[in-house]
Structure 1
Amino acid sequence: MHGILPLWKPKGMTSHDCVVRIRRLFKTKKVGHTGTLDPEVEGILPICIGQATKIVPFLTDTKKTYIAELKLGWSTETEDDQGEIIERKPVTDFPTEETVDNVLQSFKGEITQIPPMYSAVKVNGRKLYEYARKNLEVERPKRSVTIFEIERISLQEEKIRFKVVCSKGTYIRTLCVNIGEKLGYPAHMSDLCRTQTGSFDEKDGLSFTEIEEAVMNQKEEQLLCPLLRGVDHLDELQVDESIKRKVENGRKLEKPEQPIKTDPFRVMHGRELLAIYQNHPEKNGQIKPVRVFQV
């Protein structure tokens, strides 16, 4: 059984909890998720099963869309509403819609973030939250992320609700804190929902209730999307029957004459996904396999 299960992750579960549950339901160990969601965050979490686990890094590397809510007036050690309050400031002059819109737009493009201490980013082989739980401060690595779109949805009391489309690795908690700082107040993320990962959005989302019902009726395979859906953001190279056999054997190939817009890219024979290839890093004029599928 191979394919992508578009799970709608519920609040209260870690992404790993979801993987464990899917392994049990589908009776296979070959299960992987495509981008961690914090326990208190719900939303679309594509789960790769069987041969689809080979595309996890490529699906993880897609754009993400979130509906976020930040609350002005206090900040917390975890940058969300689950942590201890570290700073307070009464919101005596709530910003106007125009001010909020201008501040949100100032984050559009490539920005630099410092991951929160309560995160899974590793420093010296240990996760940051492991240091945080022992009250140890360490220097956190800066990272560049991209905000493709960001727009206000609503303002209500001290809360600002907004939509953001961003690159892999963006911490929305940190973004909320930084937005608050530009508005002159401590802030934290009070709610978050991921509505899209790559081509999978909330319309695709399946609850555990729906999945368990399908398993009970032996129809779980019908829930799986093809592997191609997970890499449809990559450009494609079509090959004929003779080249197909070389691809299936994991052979390096001559670089095609046709321009390829992405690197890596997918190699196709008709509608059949054969492999993911990339430009050879050492041999100019050649391409090499990154993943070969044997479905």
Structure 2
Amino acid sequence: MKLEPNGVLVLDKDSGMTSHDCVFKLRKLFQTKKVGHTGTLDPEVTGVLPICLGRATKLSRFITDEGKRYVAEVTIGTSTMTEDAHGEIVEQKSVAMSEIDAARIDEAMRQLTGTIEQIPPYYSAVKVNGKKLYEYARKGQTVERPRRLVEIHRLERTSELAFEGGVCRFNMAIECGKGTYIRTLAVQIGEKLGYPAHMSELRRTSSGSFDETMAVSLETLQALDTVEERLAYVIPLEDVIKRWPALTIPKNRERYIRNGGKLNDVSLEFELFTVYNEEGIPLAIYKRQEGTTDATVEVMLAID
């Protein structure tokens, strides 16, 4: 009997791979077509990439919307076309120790904490008029990029400043909401200081409730002989949804839920939550409508 993976694999993505590359390899390793990632990581970025398998692919958009944590290195004094260390240099301005100190950098980071506005980099997958920004960039075309508001919950310098070769480097830790471009955040820090800047290294340490202590590398999975051995690294679907609040409904309401019925008078403490029957079987994931106590079904989970 073929084992069907249903759950989340927390992958520790290597540098040099796209998120789609990871999905392609995992389809082969788990012998299933139902594999989906939870938001892309740029090829050179390493770290936590939750991968949904089987029925858990229904959950990918919810995991994608959760907050992220990163550790990064910022280089002040040089900016690039891609806003990271792998693009063509577009501006340079020598940085001296007498011009920038830790206090100035910390103040710049403080100003970028909270709700801030970002313009996505040209080398990104954001779509404008049906085309991705990087498609315009590769053709040398310019287009007005959409501004977006993002949430920066924590932005903290975690190293001393290092001056070498006319640039200043330091490490930082970031906790942010969905849609944040860390590359752009590095550029914005430079702008606050009056210098070109880019993100020279980046690692994602957590995505929602999944962190790097749960992560496994592709190399480790490839070294295993069977799908069954690899399944030991998959967090079961039932355990994944336990991370969200739970609501149990009486037996006489079960058919109503299975048919996607709307819930009223839902507590304001519930935003995204799982509805269970009295036997503890998950029936559906609901979301409370903003500003109301009504909740509508997002995904049906009942196992018939």
TM-score (norm 1): 0.92
The answer to whether structure 1 residue 13 and structure 2 residue 17 are counterparts is: yes
The answer to whether structure 1 residue 200 and structure 2 residue 204 are counterparts is: no
Structure 1 residues 100 and 87: CA distance shift in structure 2, 3 A? same
**RMSD of aligned C-alpha atoms?**
2.0
Q: Distance in 2 between matches of 1:211 and 1:25?
A: 8
Equivalent residue for 1:172?
Answer: 182
Q: Distance in 1 between matches of 2:298 and 2:227?
A: 37
Question: How far has the Cα of 1:235 moved from its partner?
Answer: 3.3
* Cα displacement string for residues 135-169 of structure 1 (whole angstroms, at most 9, x for unaligned residues): 00000000110000111111222102100000111
Equivalent residue for 2:267?
Answer: 259
5 Å-filtered alignment, 1:10-159, equals 10-92=14-96, 93-154=98-159, 155-157=161-163, 158-159=168-169
- The counterpart of 1:241, out of the listed 231, 247, 251, is 251
- The counterpart of 1:160, out of the listed 162, 170, 187, is 170
Paired letter, 2:33? K
Q: Percent identity?
A: 45
- When structure 1 is superposed on structure 2, of 78-87 and 264-273 the one drifting more is 264-273
Q: Distance in 1 between matches of 2:283 and 2:99?
A: 55
Question: How far has the Cα of 1:211 moved from its partner?
Answer: 1.6
TM-score (norm 2): 0.89
CA contact (8 A) 1:59 1:230 kept: no
The answer to whether structure 1 residue 276 and structure 2 residue 285 are counterparts is: yes
Structure 1 residues 179 and 31: CA distance shift in structure 2, 3 A? same
CA contact (8 A) 1:75 1:88 kept: yes
Paired letter, 1:13? M
Q: Distance in 1 between matches of 2:34 and 2:16?
A: 24
Structure 1 residues 91 and 125: CA distance shift in structure 2, 3 A? same
| Number of residue pairs aligned between Structure 1 and Structure 2 | 291
The answer to whether structure 1 residue 291 and structure 2 residue 295 are counterparts is: no
Q: Distance in 1 between matches of 2:240 and 2:179?
A: 18
